[in-house]
Structure 1
Amino acid sequence: MAFQSGTKPMPPSLFYIFAASGWAICWITLCLLLVDRFQKSRWVQVMIKTGQMALTHYIFHSAFVLSLMFALGQITQQSSVFVLLLSLVVYGVMMYFSVLWRFKFQRGPSRPL
């Protein structure tokens, strides 16, 4: 019975799925409210450009970052601080790349501005 009423991610129980879905809805709602209020802000525009390239960034993360971490032997259990710092660095690089890419191309490499 403890397994069915738990909220641990592995193995995911029904309550874990409800809790994760609720948090996801809260975060999405907060993001929509902030974008609506600060629509013209430079940071919001950077985040929008980064979000529009989500698939590219996912592939970059999967192919490059994880391969690099595996090659360096850092794919094992890491501290929370290491994971947070790596995430911030990777996301910063992705944001910078997105702005540069959208400065040169409208949507993709075949449609320059």
Structure 2
Amino acid sequence: MIRFLTAHSPQGADTACLAYYNPIVTRDFERGQVRSGRLGDAQALFDHPDILYTPSNLWAADRSWVVCTDYDLWGTKVCGPRPLVEALLADLEIKAIRLPWTS
């Protein structure tokens, strides 16, 4: 996933991004936790020594795309520019479907 985000972000690996951890995952019910960094260093955002699961949301600071996932990675939603979505849909290794728009 990170390679697609990097390829479709204007700043590439230098894209500023944020990762939000759900309070259920952090076991801190008073607040969630947001970490910031560069897309090229996304692994550091995902490898938190005190948290066993991935962030619930990862997004570009400029809000050009967002990735939403469940804590156990059973499914992921990506919203972003059409070329990013089309690249994900066309990839042979990623199982992707387009969700219908609802009002």
State the TM bucket, normalised to the shorter chain: under 0.3
Give me the TM-score of the superposition, normalised by structure 1. Answer: 0.22
Bigger relative contact order (CA 8 A; separation at least 6):
2
Give me the TM-score of the superposition, normalised by structure 2. Answer: 0.23
Q: Is the radius of gyration larger for structure 1 or structure 2?
A: 1
| Structure holding more strand per residue | 2
